[in-house]
Each structure stands twice: as structure tokens, then as C-alpha cells.
Amino acid sequence: MLYWLSETLNINILSYITIRAGISFFLALFFTLFLMPRFISWAQKTSSVQPINDLAPDRHKEKAKTPTMGGIVFISATILASLISIKFTNIYALGSILTLGLFSMIGFKDDFAKIRKNENLAGLKARTKLILQIVSALIIASFLYFLADFNTQLYVPFIKNPVLDMGVYSIILWILVMIATSNAVNLTDGLDGLATVPSIVALTSFSIIIYITGNATISSYLLMPHFNVGEVAIVASALIGALTGFLWYNCHPAEVFMGDSGSLTIGAFLGYLAIISKSEILLLLIGSIFVIETLSVILQVGSYKIRKKRVFLMAPIHHHFEMKQWAENKIIVRFWIVAIISNLLALISLKIR
């Protein structure tokens, strides 16, 4: 709508991506701050609260009455703010909306199942959830490959030229990236605000990278690939604004949790951003906290199956520190610090080609 106004009424300032990204940030922030307290009130009245696993640390028991599924609010706010701000002729921006929509529906279905069953986190079966994720990721990857005719070359950090053209096999990589990131953020969402701030930081990094990638002059100067993906920075900015509003209620002690409707969607969207900015490998550094959390689970499960011994007191790793009696705020803030440092390193690496 804003871009249409710039064209129709000749409001030149609204043609700039940076201006519309700023507007989308504040729109999503306002929508979330306005809607979230109403959602929390509704969730409390309808007992739409977070089921707590019996195996979780004891102090999690006090969170049993905390409303969940807050992701529905901030994802809806993101989509609404984006639809107001983006240029509808940009196929990559439409792809980002598609990503948010598909994965939020999977998360909502899982959250709704947990709330209704309300016993030991019994939501969708793991197999069912994975199949839905694969189907959704396949739709998005096919959208990029067949409709958007997106570049299939693989880029590696510090190297200015692509190292490989994967052709149709890029679809497999893109599916793996989205599913892996989606589940990694989901695993991280275990403490108040733990996944929220690293997500905001990662989205900020990708917004910068995507803006650079979409700008012919800057991308040429930094020896980075150039694609017409700049409009997606507006959607990313909207999600940053929505998550900032969500953090107002999600910081310790949390008044609401994002649930799978938020974490699965954020992860898939980060994967999408990595794909269209040709930063699939750099995603490992940008999403370092999510990688660490996932590796801790893989190590724990693998070690127990092979050696019948645990590596950590409990996995994911934030539970390990809880079992070591670290204060929840200390765990959360230290994880935030790691996320900020790793993202600064990722942005610095852009100049080294």
C-alpha cells in the first residue's frame, strides 16, 4: 500500500526501502503491543497455557499457568505490517509472506493440540510435524526455483565468487536449511526471552545483508552477489518490531510464551533469509545460539545411545546450566551476549572477500 501511494501520489520518500522498513517496524511493534495484552487476557480465561514437561527442571513448574501461543500475535502483526509496506510485485517479498504463513500454521496446529491435551507437551506427533515442515519447505523451495528462477549457486564466506552451481539439487539444500533452522529455534525457546533476542539480532544481521544484496552499488563494492531481494528487508524489519513488542511481555518473568507458532516460524524465516541472501553457511555464525542448542541435543542423544552416558546434565544446553543452579536471568543474558558477538563477527566478515 505504501509503495502504491508513492507511485500514485508521487510521494517519493515512500519509494525507499529504508523508509518503508522503518514504518513496518513501528507498525508491527504497535500492533503487537496493542494486541498482546488482549491475547494474554483471553488465554488466561480459556486456560490456553503452557504445559510443562515432567522432566523439566523443577523451577519450570511455576510457569505452568503462563499463556502460550503468543507467536500467533506477533506473526500476524508482522504479516499485516508487511502487507502495508512491501512492493507487491517483488516475488521474494511474497515468498517471505508465504514462509511466515505456512510455518505459523504448523506451529499453531501443534500449540493448539498441546493446549487441548495439556499433558506432557503432547502436541502433534514428531513424524507428523516433520512431514508438514518438509511439505511447507518444499513449497517454498519450489516457489524460489520454478517461479522466482532464483540463483542456484553456492557462496562461501570470504570467497567472492560462487564455488558451485547446484542446479535443481539446490531445492534439497534449501529444504534442509529451513527445516533445520526452524527446529533449532524451537529447541532454543525454553527460557524467558532466550530465543527472542537472538532472533532479533539474527534478523537485524540478515536485514543488513539482504539490503546490501539488493543494492547494486553496495553489493558491488563489497564483492557480494546482487539479487532483487531488498524488499524482504521490510518484512524482516516488521518481524524485528513485532518481536520487540513481544519481548515486552516475554522478558523474565514471562507473561506469555511464543509457542511453536512463533519459534518454528522464526526459524523457517531465518532459513529463508539465509537462502535468498546466499548466506546459508554464514547462518551457522549468525544463528550460533541456535546451532549450539541443537548440537547439545545431538551430542546428548548420540552419547547416551552409544555410550549410555550423558554429556550434559540435561539438554538442550540451557537446561544444563539450570541444573548447575545458574540463575535464569544469568543464563539468558549470557546467551544474548554470545548471539550479539557472533553476529558482529558475521557482519565484519562481509568486508573480507
Q: What is the pLDDT of residues 179-230, one digit of tens each?
A: 999 999 999 998 999 999 999 999 999 999 999 999 999 999 999 999 999 9
Q: Summarize the confidence of residues 225-246 as an average pLDDT.
A: 97
**pLDDT value, residue 120:** 47
Going by C-alpha positions, the residue among 95, 98, 350, 101 that lies closest to residue 206 is 350
Dump strand ranges (E) for 137-254.
153-154, 164-165
Give the CA dihedral 241, 245, 247, 251, nearest 10 degrees.
Answer: 160
User: β-strand 153-154 against 164-165: which pairing, if any?
Assistant: antiparallel
**pLDDT value, residue 49:** 80
pLDDT for 52 beyond 90? no
Going by C-alpha positions, the residue among 324, 256, 296 that lies closest to residue 37 is 256
127: exposed, middle or buried (C-beta count within 10 Å: 0-12, 13-18, 19+)? exposed
Q: Which long-range contacts (CB under 8 A, 24 or more apart) does 51-59 make?
A: 51/114, 51/115, 51/117, 51/118, 51/119, 51/120, 51/121, 51/122, 52/121, 53/120, 53/121, 54/120, 55/314, 56/319, 57/314, 57/319, 57/322, 57/323, 59/322, 59/328
Beta-carbon count within 10 A of 62 CB? 10
- pLDDT tens-digit series, residues 148-177: 999 999 999 988 889 999 999 999 999 999
CA dihedral sign of residues 317, 318, 321, 323: negative
The phi and psi torsions of 164 (rounded to 5 degrees) equal -165, 140
For 209, the enclosing helix (H) or strand (E) is: helix 196-214
In whole angstroms, what is the distance from residue 345 CA to residue 352 CA? 11
**3 state DSSP class of 305:** helix
- pLDDT tens-digit series, residues 275-324: 999 999 999 999 999 999 999 999 999 999 999 899 999 999 999 999 99
CA dihedral sign of residues 316, 317, 323, 326: negative
Q: Summarize the confidence of residues 102-112 as an average pLDDT.
A: 94
Going by C-alpha positions, the residue among 195, 288, 204 that lies closest to residue 247 is 195
Going by C-alpha positions, the residue among 234, 340, 229, 244 that lies closest to residue 274 is 229
Going by C-alpha positions, the residue among 95, 288, 261, 92 that lies closest to residue 181 is 288
The phi and psi torsions of 153 (rounded to 5 degrees) equal -80, 150
Task: Report domain extents, the chain.
Answer: 2-285
In whole angstroms, what is the distance from residue 272 CA to residue 131 CA? 18
In whole angstroms, what is the distance from residue 57 CA to residue 55 CA? 7
Report percent pLDDT > 90 for the chain: 83
**pLDDT value, residue 117:** 63
**pLDDT value, residue 315:** 93
